[in-house]
């Protein structure tokens, strides 16, 4: 069980570090981010406002995962909310391939920064849900003994 817990924390910290870096880079240097990340220039013209908007979202994702590490009573909601956005983002990339906007090769290129965080978020949220249910069951059992 400890190995699973440490594995989950590793995936959460991956998401914290990636989203935190994205947030800082997108907010501080949107044009640098635009030219640095492979494939971004293929998705449209540079738009500083849009990149900074997404940078703010990435900051909230990093914050939600970070706070969830330390606030057990809020973990499930925080990780689920952040994961919902990550899954929607990954699904949007799949949709672009499905309708022919992008070739399937972009899924491989984008996997580490798009699909992997969504999968890590999903795994951590499912784990947080199981932990929350176990805690609730333990409390019910303790209350019955009184």
DSSP string, 96-119: HHHTTSS-THHHHHHTTTTHHHHH
Give the separation between CA 106 and CA 4, rounded to whole angstroms: 31
pLDDT value of residue 136: 74
Question: Of the ranges 15-29, 77-91, 126-140, which one carries the lowest mean pLDDT score?
Answer: 126-140
The pLDDT of residue 142 is above 90: no
Q: Show the tokens assigned to 125.
A: 């949220």
Taking only the tens place, the pLDDT of each residue in 116-134 is: 999 999 999 999 999 988 7
Give the separation between CA 144 and CA 16, rounded to whole angstroms: 39
pLDDT value of residue 87: 98
Contact criterion met (CB below 8 Å) for 34 and 73: no
First to last CA, the chain: 29
Coil, helix or strand at residue 46: coil
Estimate to the nearest angstrom the gap between the alpha carbon of 96 and the chain centroid. 20
Taking only the tens place, the pLDDT of each residue in 18-74 is: 999 999 999 999 999 999 999 999 989 999 999 999 999 999 999 999 999 999 999
The pLDDT of residue 145 is above 90: no
In this prediction the pTM is: 0.90
């Amino acid at each position: 069980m400890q190995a699973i817990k440490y594995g989950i924390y590793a995936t959460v910290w991956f998401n914290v570090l990636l989203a935190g870096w994205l947030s800082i880079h997108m907010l501080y240097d949107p044009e640098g981010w635009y030219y640095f990340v492979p494939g971004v220039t293929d998705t449209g013209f540079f738009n500083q406002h849009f990149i900074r908007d997404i940078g703010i979202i990435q900051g909230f994702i990093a914050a939600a995962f970070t706070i969830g590490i330390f606030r057990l009573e809020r973990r499930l909601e925080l990780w689920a909310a952040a994961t919902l956005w990550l899954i929607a983002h990954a699904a949007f990339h799949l949709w672009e391939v499905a309708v022919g906007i992008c070739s399937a090769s972009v899924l491989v290129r984008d996997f580490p920064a798009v699909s992997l965080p969504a999968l890590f978020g999903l795994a951590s949220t499912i784990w947080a849900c199981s932990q929350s249910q176990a805690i609730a069951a333990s409390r019910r059992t303790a209350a019955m003994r009184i």
